[in-house]
Amino acid sequence: MQANKVLVIGIDGVSYDLLGSFLARGLMPNLSRIVREGYLRRMNSTIPEVSSTAWTTFMTGMNPGNHGIFGFMDFENKSRKIYFPNSESIQSPTLWEILGRYNKKSIVINLPSTYPARPINGILTAGFVAIDLKKATYPEAAYDYLKSMGYRLDVDAAKASVSLAALFDDICLTLEKRIEAIFHFLDYEWDLFIGVITETDRLHHFMWSAAHEGNEFNAQFLDFYKRIDLFIGEMQRRAVEKYGDNLSIMIVSDHGFSDIRQEVYINSFLTEKGCLRFNSASPRSLEEVHPDSRAFALDPSRIYINTEDRFSGGCVSRDDYQNVREELRNAFLSLRFDGEPVIKKVFMKEELYSGTCFERAPDLVLLAHRGFDLKGAVNKQSVFGKGVFTGTHVQDDAVFILHDGKRHDLLPDVIDITDIAPTIYQILSIRDVQVDGRSLAGIR
């Protein structure tokens, strides 16, 4: 009897609400058929809802307090010097590492936070932030193929400064190269295949407004999703032809998206409240924080208390720590724009995180109301402003689709991103893996 297989199609930044509207309008017939035969659910992402943290949670089944990736940037030990975590920073085993112990093969294409590529039982080419194709790819034969076919690691975002039309053309070109590579590797033997499309996220950041009727790029936006639908349909057809009834298909996003009403510069707000000041009038980084500062923010919504035991030169004592956190929580909840609250909820670290990396977690994390894009910039003179993006991440609007030929009538209305890895393990008959999520495969 042939063993079960799992195909995961990642669609970075795709919103449950947006996808639902496209399905209702009949714009994505292949996906509509998959959903009719399976299940579409809203999914909660991580907090903060950034791709590095969310995709790492997807690939480990662990919360950031265990896997150690709290955002795209983090502080070096005892300092405010920034470093960029990568695949070697992940403190929990990934899906393919666990599967490799059972001699199961994995193919992983364009998954964020997997750079540099580490050896696996199979093939891996890393996604964002990958800067060198050779270092992003294992084994060398896979690199040779990708180089020969003109594979693109990411969109050239600089095209946005030329024109949105130029950026859109670049997004479409990158998508076609991505699809070509995914189809190529799909023909190999595998137990787990993960292929991620990140061009959706790039489109949304720069051109989310094009999702609305009347926008000059609306037709192109819809055509882009029709192309995604063709891709999904062809992926299903090829995988089913290869593995038949032994195949389970998941389609997942790492977070949702919404319009940006205002960017919100958290460090400027902390400065206004007297909690933060810098050593210079035009700071370039958090290394220039004055020792008397009580708190500062790291992108996009992580708040760190400048404690004596965490940061060299910190000024907040252990005795004052809780009072400072409560003061900051109340301050953030009072933040208004045009009379409306900006912050939906302020989380203490212990409300979100647990595990071996807990001590490195931010002290508070902000969750914004829709329309407000939280930023950790240090060089803004006001609390509110506008940038080049028209779309921002949403935590409670990610997508989970399961299609496996079985009934899941009791599948909850909303699931969590930590649930995906244990579901994959159960489908592939991998037992006793420590995870924070729960398997959905056994819900009948």
DSSP-assigned beta bridge partners for residue 235: none
Q: Domains along the chain?
A: 5-258+393-427 (3.40.720.10), 262-385 (3.30.1360)
pLDDT-derived band at 84 (thresholds 50, 70, 90) equals very high
End-to-end CA distance of the chain, in Å?
Answer: 23
pLDDT at residue 422, rounded to an integer: 97
CB 97 within 8 A of CB 430: no
Average pLDDT, the chain: 96
pTM reported for the whole predicted model: 0.96
**pLDDT tens profile 337-378:** 999 999 999 999 999 999 999 999 999 999 999 999 999 999
pLDDT at residue 333, rounded to an integer: 98
The Cα–Cα gap between 50 and 434 comes to 24
Quote the tokens at residue 343.
């912050």
CA atoms within a 13 Å half-sphere pointing along the CA-CB vector of 344: 14
To which residue do tokens 């964002």 refer? Answer: 128
CB 167 within 8 A of CB 157: yes
**pLDDT tens profile 119-167:** 999 999 999 999 999 999 999 999 999 999 999 999 999 999 899 999 9
**What's the 3-state SS for 137-197?**
EECHHHHHHHHHCCCCCCCCHHHHHCCHHHHHHHHHHHHHHHHHHHHHHHCCCCCEEEEEE
pLDDT at residue 329, rounded to an integer: 98
Residue type, 86: N
Dihedral angle computed from the Cα positions of residues 311, 74, 359 and 80, in that order, rounded to the nearest 10 degrees: 0
Average of per-residue pLDDT across 433-441? 93
pLDDT at residue 405, rounded to an integer: 77
Average of per-residue pLDDT across 254-261? 97
Say if strands 343-348 and 302-305 run parallel, antiparallel, or are unpaired. unpaired
Say if residue 411's pLDDT is above 90.
Answer: no
Whether residue 362 is preceded by a cis peptide bond, meaning omega within 30 degrees of 0, is no
CB 422 within 8 A of CB 59: no
405 versus 69: which is more confidently predicted? 69
Average of per-residue pLDDT across 269-280? 96
**pLDDT tens profile 215-229:** 999 999 999 999 999
Say if residue 1's pLDDT is above 90.
Answer: no
CB 376 within 8 A of CB 300: yes
Percent of the chain with pLDDT over 90: 94
Average of per-residue pLDDT across 32-61? 96
Say if residue 441's pLDDT is above 90.
Answer: no
Say if residue 443's pLDDT is above 60.
Answer: no
Say if residue 444's pLDDT is above 60.
Answer: no
Average of per-residue pLDDT across 381-409? 90
Give the distance, in angstroms, between the CA of residue 320 and the centroid of all CA atoms in the same chain.
34
Cα angle for residues 44, 45, 49 (degrees, 5° grid): 135
CB 53 within 8 A of CB 46: yes
pLDDT-derived band at 413 (thresholds 50, 70, 90) equals confident
The Cα–Cα gap between 7 and 38 comes to 14
pLDDT at residue 205, rounded to an integer: 97
pLDDT-derived band at 407 (thresholds 50, 70, 90) equals low
pLDDT-derived band at 409 (thresholds 50, 70, 90) equals low
DSSP-assigned beta bridge partners for residue 137: 125
